[in-house]
Amino acid sequence: MSLVILPLTIQTTAALVSLLGTLLVVSVVVYLFKTSSDYEEKSSAKAKVYRMRDRYFLGLALTILIVLITSLSMLPYPKFHKNPDSVVTVVAMQWLWKMAPEAIAADQDLVAFAGKNEITLPVDKLIEFRVTSADVNHNFAIYNSKGTLIAQTQAMPKYYNNLQYKFTEKGEYEVLCLEYCGMPHAYMVAKIHIE
C-alpha cells in the first residue's frame, strides 16, 4: 500500500487544522470522562467541558470578528477604483462574448450590440471592462498565454460589473466562461490582443 501525500494547499492545510482541532476537543472530552469515576466527578467534568466550550466559542467568535474586520479593508473595491484609460463593454450570451471599446447606453438592446469576440487593447493602460449578460449568468475570466487566470468577474443579466485591469505584458490573452451556462459553455472563448 502506498501512502498518498497531498500537496499542502490552503484547502488541505485548513482541513488538517480542523481535523487536529476536532481530535484535540474529542480527546479532552474522552480524558475528562475517563478520569472521572463517580457521578459527582462526572458532573464536575461536565461543568469543566461546558466552561471550555464557552471559552472556545468566545475565542472563535473573537478570532472571526478580527479576521473579518481586517480582511474587509483589503477588499479591492472601491478603494482601488481609479479613472480608467479606456472602457470596454463586454456582453456575454449563450454562447459567445461580444466586446467593444466603448460604453453603451443603459437601454441598448444587448442582443443587437455590435461587439466582437476579439479585441485589441493597449499595454500598460488601465482598462475598465463593463461586464453584463444578455441572458443567464456567465463569468468573464481572462487568462494569460501560460493559462493562468489573471482577472475575472461575474456576467449577470440586468447588471454591470466593472472590472479594472492593467495588462503589463504584450501578447495574446484568452477569455473563458467560468460559470456553467449550458452544453456549449466550454466553447465560449474570446481573444484579447495586447499591443
Residues that bind Cu ion (CB under 5 A): 138, 177, 181, 185
DSSP 8-state secondary structure symbol assigned to residue 38: S
In the bound state with Cu ion, the residue whose beta carbon lies nearer, of 140 and 167, is: 140
In the bound state with Cu ion, the residue whose beta carbon lies nearer, of 48 and 185, is: 185
DSSP 8-state secondary structure symbol assigned to residue 124: T
- For the bound state, the minimum distance from the C-beta of residue 157 to Cu ion, rounded and expressed in Å, comes to 13
- For the bound state, the minimum distance from the C-beta of residue 120 to Cu ion, rounded and expressed in Å, comes to 24
Round to whole Å and give the CA distance between 73 and 68.
9
Count each helix (H run) and each strand (E run) in the chain, helices first: 2, 9
Alpha-helix residue ranges (DSSP H) falling in the chain: 10-35, 39-72
- For the bound state, the minimum distance from the C-beta of residue 96 to Cu ion, rounded and expressed in Å, comes to 10
In the bound state with Cu ion, the residue whose beta carbon lies nearer, of 96 and 177, is: 177
In the bound state with Cu ion, the residue whose beta carbon lies nearer, of 36 and 94, is: 94
Cell of 168: 503589463
- For the bound state, the minimum distance from the C-beta of residue 77 to Cu ion, rounded and expressed in Å, comes to 24
Residue 3's alpha-carbon distances to 6, 23, 125, in angstroms, are 10, 21, 50
